[in-house]
Amino acid sequence: MDLGIAGKRALVMGASKGLGRSIADALAAEGVALVVSGRDQASLDAVAAELRALGAPAAFGVPADIASAADVDRLADEAVRLLGGVDILVLNHGGPPPCGPLEVTQEQLVEWFPRIVQHPIRIATKLIPGMRTRKYGRVITVGSTGMEQPIPNLALSNILRGAMVGWNKSVALEVAGDNVTCNILAPGAIMTGRLRETQAGAAKVRGIEVDQVIAERAKTIPAQRIGKPEEFGPMAAFLCSDKGAYITGNILRIDGGMVRSL
């Protein structure tokens, strides 16, 4: 399906691997020009070259640390400079360490609030006005199914990502009339480094291999398997198209049926 977004310009954060990379790949295949961010310039340069080979008319890697307000501001400015503007913004970042709800410390909240809430909102606030002026924009937040059904032992993530649900809905209502949409993509168990990281603790406690823990988890999912990164990015590309223009303010799960709520 031709989504009609060739020539659009996207900033995809956290795109050097995992779900961010999956989104960047899907957009590149549709002819979208890209700036991708991460923390390592060499890795980003390699990703940019691969994105151009996939079909991106232009692709640039700009290193940035989501924990730094200055880096976030510089990333926004560089994306606009390199692309001439940003039509699509993908908010994506690494997740916090596993912990239970009564184990969350004040220090953790202070450390992770800027990464998960404050700075994603900061960069979106800088770029959305240009989208409104051009009467086209797409903001996609890579979230978690913990936004709807808390995930055991990921309390810090559950707490902070919940704030982004309220932000996403509030902004979506404000900008919908300007053909700017804001949606959250909520991945379930998808085979990424983050999945292995979150399961490593359980494997250590039980004295078994991580792969065994992951296989056992797959059996609890209605689809009876772990998702693939390449099953994630195409949904983001669809939401960026005119065909997805009437979808806004929503959380869309890509989870194989894992979340049981209605």
Domain count for the chain, please give it. Answer: 2
Residue 32's φ and ψ, nearest 5 degrees, are -85, 135
The answer, yes or no, to whether residue 1 has pLDDT greater than 80, is no
CB-based contact 221:165 (threshold 8 Å): no
Q: What is the pLDDT of residue 5?
A: 97
The reply to whether 132 and 19 lie within a common domain is: yes
The reply to whether 118 and 220 lie within a common domain is: no
Q: Checking DSSP bridges between strand 33-38 and strand 180-187, what pairing results, if any?
A: unpaired
* Structural domain includes residue 215: yes
The reply to whether 43 and 119 lie within a common domain is: yes
Q: How confident is the model at residue 128 (pLDDT cuts 50, 70, 90)?
A: very high
Joined tokens for residue 28 = 């590149």
Q: Quote the CA–CA distance of 56 and 166 in Å, as a whole number.
A: 33
Q: Containing domain of residue 196, as a range? A: 191-226
pLDDT tens digits for range 219-233: 999 999 999 999 999
Q: To which H or E segment does residue 88 belong?
A: strand 88-91
**Taking the complete model, does pTM exceed 0.85, yes or no?**
yes
